[in-house]
Chain A
Amino acid sequence: MDQWVAAAGFVAVAIIVPVSMLVGAKLLAVTAKSSSKLKTMTYECGEEPEGGAWLQFHPRYYLVALIFVLFDIEAVFLFPWALAIEELGGLAIVDMLIFVLVLLLGWGYALRKGALKWQ
Chain B
Amino acid sequence: MTRDEAQQRFVALLQERFGVEEIPDDNYPLIDAKHHFELARVLREEFGYRIYSFVVASHYLEKVDAKNDNAVIDIEHYEVATGIRCVGAPAHLASWRVRVELDQSIPTLFPLFAGADWQEREQYDLVGVRFDEHPDLRRLMMPEDWEGHPLRKDYAIETACPPWR
* Contact, chains A and B (beta carbon distance below 8 A): no
